[in-house]
């Protein structure tokens, strides 16, 4: 089974990944990083490790490990 890892310190809350996620595994929660941006949260139960988030993220927040 695969895994997704987020480096929320790099996240700027743009939401591109949330829009690109086919399973709605990503959301912008209330948590903020040290720079004050509302960061993305992942529901690993819904994540299928498709890599869409990784592809669209301009800030290299995601690391996707294969299934």
Summarised one tens digit per residue, pLDDT across range 28-66 is 978 999 999 999 999 989 999 999 999 999 999 999 987
Cα separation, 30 vs 58, whole angstroms:
21
Cα separation, 20 vs 50, whole angstroms:
10
pTM: 0.88
Residue 56 near residue 16, CB atoms below 8 Å: yes
Domains detected in the chain: 3-59 (3.30.70.3270)
Residues 11-30: tens digit of each pLDDT: 999 999 999 999 999 999 78
């Amino acid at each position: 089974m695969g895994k997704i890892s987020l480096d929320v310190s790099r996240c700027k809350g743009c939401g591109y990944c949330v829009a690109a996620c086919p399973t709605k595994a990503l959301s912008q929660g209330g948590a903020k990083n040290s720079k004050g941006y509302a960061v993305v949260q992942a529901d690993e139960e819904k994540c299928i490790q498709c890599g869409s988030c990784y592809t669209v993220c301009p800030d290299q927040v995601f690391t996707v490990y294969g299934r």
